Chains A and B, each alone.
Chain A
């Protein structure tokens, strides 16, 4: 498969700690790839290595066959020679310049003729809807407008590679949604390859062709949003993708169309689709979303009926969150409005006994986190 940006065995040490600990990644032409993970997982360091703002300690980074950095061979292209665009978290607009001068700066550096700079700045500002503000000082604009200018600046010189370092995290929610869509549509219009860093799972899902989930300097899983959402590989990814119930257990029984897992410290067994990780007795874990647990048995497919006692009940209007105990295990469940309507006027409260159903196809088997192999995806 063809790849634009190739990262091989990237390692970055800060003192005695490895911020990036062996990353292999291939980004396809025109792809929008997101590095997702909690703070300190190495996603920003990886991006900064690609930008040339950090020197990698080991490994190799190349773009369209051109080696950007290869510390082993003493190759390092400084950031100004990489012909990339980057959007920063703090916008990083130069306060002593006008909007026009900010956007035109990369073009000026590329020695584009003046008249052409003018036209292209005008065009880019038009794309982000700020053509009329071109002669104002950059910092006199509002936060959202500033980030739009930063976007225009990053894209002004038509870079083949665009980097985004948490560009939306300083904005409020409404602006965030709006700019998110603008970023994706600009990416599609200009046909660049983009690498985006965020800690916001929803943002990553909305924007990306593929998501790379990182943890402690390593890659936990790479895949399209839907794959990560429905088939997290391990407990870390499942937790990050919003799986509220992650239960360690052992393989109890292998069947033709799946297997049963007995949850540790309990008599509860859960039916899991797919090939078991090993024969009966092998340690494993399973995950399912709170919203997968329901009051009525599902019309399609098998489901386990579980006797539950309510420990805590939180009413959120659109849904009711219940913390229940099933055979000594605490489970989180979420009942939507429709299900609530059928419960009756009285909402379940602490101490109430009820039966909940867990559909087998909602349960995801997980690999242990420690053994997560470095993802070699291409």
Chain B
């Protein structure tokens, strides 16, 4: 009965935190350390080492390196400005005005964030194809000219497509702070004689400055790390950025120059870590602020006729970021040849599903997404829970470790993981198997999973757990009976998002998969570069549909289980003579505005950010 090592719960002591630290260090820190070793090792991970400075020499004396550095910075800056601006405008329209259609923005933005970059790369690659892309053919049909108005394989195309995607992140991260702004501050300014615009610029903007600057830095980091879109759209135009150059050093040099790739990665890691540290300093000290029911009032500014301009803007964004790419992907997949006039048919689907290679890739991808998404969510949940329940200094170590996967782009992470696993005797056998891909995908997806679990955990009041402990439940019982059921809706939604993100990940399998266990994104890339664009689109559609159906079935099963359980409980309680008039159905109980877990039941909890939490 007396505990030898006193603790008030799991993870509350330094010792309780150690296993988690070991796992995090292994997944997140070890690959980066091994990247340094790899930079000196100068050899394919499966071949004996060739120690020396050659990697650094190749990487840092080549003028091409500095060009890619310049390109990356340029691209990142442009994307940050455009993406943040769109996000800010949308957040303003949604929270502060009566713009028609504003209620559709948040679900739409969630979709933008969940859709993999690969999706944007293919669909916009088709839309903006200079010869046969609908943007250009439509223009020609309308005007009768022969000109090409838009070539997506260009700086403009790259910036546009990446900005559309970044806007989703920016919006979701700004939504919380926008909602949390105390209306009293604005009213005070207006009473003091400031006009609306004056209030917006003089009061709201400074109040929101820390949140906005955090978003700016994060967008910059994400911009530096983009891989899929530059690979698909930049390569044809001869635009190389940092991560595609790292990949190129391996895929295009013979023999593959792993040393130079690693040496180059280190620079990117260094730059990004500095930026992340700056962002951490900006936002890290601020406590997680939940949007209180009191602070939010539905009164909006009347912006008059400008609201129609707002709607037009929202429609344009929805067209470019969601509708057009989705329609293009589906229509394109139904064309036997992309841009051809042969009409629509299912031939691509039939042929793809007849190929054993495709079927095995689909199977591998589904497995990796569902299991990897679950793994990332579980790890993120444990990390978030541990950080919230530990007051020792080791807590900071866990926090810092979980920042690492943010700071490392997928290509670099998989390179590091390749080095890490090849150097540990027992793990060497994993190299080339689906398991190493799975582990790397989990590590790469933990940041997104964290964004999904954080708000749910933050809303879980500590007294709910303490009441359970005092009521006689041990730590495990408490976790299973109180914590898990309360965060289950957010957890399922987060699993959904994580699985989709994993399924579309190209950067990890491109370095770690072998021909035998290639995932769908790899085949998509292969088909696309071979010019079989329609077939690439079809394969992508099959994967997304299968995944969504699979996850919907999973979610349905979970719902059903919960429903049955509730029925059983209700039946059990009906066995007693009822105490009063017919009790209302348990699920009918409305949730009062002040209750401790507001998220339970609302499907929108995976919001990768509804508050200025430090993570992007």
Contacts and interface: CB of A to CB of B under 8 A. Distances in A.
A and B from one complex: yes
A74 interface: yes
Contact of B472 (A110, A125, A140): A110
Dominant SS among interface residues on chain A: mixed
* Max count, chain A CB within 10 A of own CB: residue among B1, B477, B570, B595: B595
Interface of B: 1-4, 6-8, 461, 463-464, 466-475, 477-478, 482, 485-486, 569-570, 572-573, 576, 579-581, 583-584, 586-587, 589-592, 594-597, 600
Given A88-B467, A157-B472, A135 B4 contact: no
A89 B463 contact: yes
A79 B469 contact: yes
A149 to B, nearest CB: 11
Interface of A: 51-55, 69, 71, 74-86, 88-90, 92-96, 98, 100-101, 105-106, 109-110, 114, 118, 122, 125, 131-137, 139-140, 142-143, 150, 153-154, 157, 163
B579 A132 contact: yes
A84 B2 CA distance: 16
A131 B471 contact: no
B502 to A, nearest CB: 29
Given A77-B1, A132-B579, A88 B8 contact: no
Contacts of B478: 80
A94 B460 CA distance: 10
The 7 A-B pairs with the shortest beta carbon distances in the complex, nearest first, are A137-B589, A132-B580, A109-B472, A76-B6, A140-B589, A135-B583, A92-B463
Contacts of A136: 583-584, 586, 589
Contacts of B471: 80, 105-106, 109, 153, 157
A157 B478 CA distance: 17
A53 B469 contact: yes
Contact of B591 (A93, A94, A132, A140): A140
Nearest to B489: A96
A137 B579 CA distance: 16
Contact of B580 (A94, A95, A131, A140): A131
A86 B467 contact: yes
B266 to A, nearest CB: 37
A77 B2 contact: yes
Contact of B6 (A71, A86, A110, A154): A71
A52 B517 CA distance: 52
A75 B2 CA distance: 6
B591 A139 contact: yes
Contacts of A74: 4, 6
Given A51-B470, A134-B579, A100 B573 contact: yes
Nearest to A89: B463
B586 A98 contact: yes
Contact of A92 (B7, B466, B587, B592): B466
A78 B474 contact: yes
A118 B576 contact: yes
Contacts of A79: 8, 466, 469-470
A25 B595 CA distance: 36
A157 B470 CA distance: 11
* Max count, chain B CB within 10 A of own CB: residue among A89, A98, A134, A139: A139
A134 B464 contact: no
Given A83-B472, A90-B596, A134-B573, A52 B591 contact: no
A85 B470 contact: yes
A136 B570 CA distance: 11
A84 B470 contact: yes
Contact of A78 (B8, B580, B596): B8
Contacts of A92: 461, 463-464, 466-467, 596
A48 to B, nearest CB: 8
A86 B469 CA distance: 10
A105 B470 CA distance: 11
B464 A94 contact: yes
Contacts of B583: 132-136
21 contacts: A51-B470, A53-B469, A54-B8, A76-B7, A80-B477, A81-B1, A82-B470, A84-B470, A86-B467, A90-B596, A92-B596, A95-B597, A95-B600, A98-B573, A105-B471, A132-B579, A132-B583, A136-B583, A137-B587, A137-B589, A140-B590
